[in-house]
Amino acid sequence: MIPYTPPTTDDLQRLKDSLGYTGEQMAELASVAAGSQWRKYTGGAEPRSVSLHMLFLMAARLELKPDEIARVVARMQAMGAQVSPGNFAAPEQG
């Protein structure tokens, strides 16, 4: 098991602000359905914690070059997944 402490709601808000993203763009980055789903991670009485998997995906989409993403997607496909590399680009900054 990988030791993990999720980012706080403040951490996530700072990330959103630093990227200049809307709630919809953050939802896209995290691969959740919509901005209303993203808000469940950043507010409310009991905000959800961002899973290690979700945070890893978000970081990878922000940091990896297209050819690196393509290599990861190729590995996923070799493992039996049906997925397109084009779906992994991070949203354009606001």
pLDDT, tens digit (0-9, with 9 covering 90-100), for 58-80 = 999 999 998 999 999 999 999 99
Q: Please report, rounded to a whole number, the percentage of residues in the chain having pLDDT higher than 70.
A: 99
- Please give the Cα distance from 83 to 63 (Å, whole number): 20
Q: Supply 76's token pair.
A: 């996923």
Digit-coded pLDDT (tens) for 36-56: 889 999 987 899 999 999 999
pLDDT of residue 43: 85
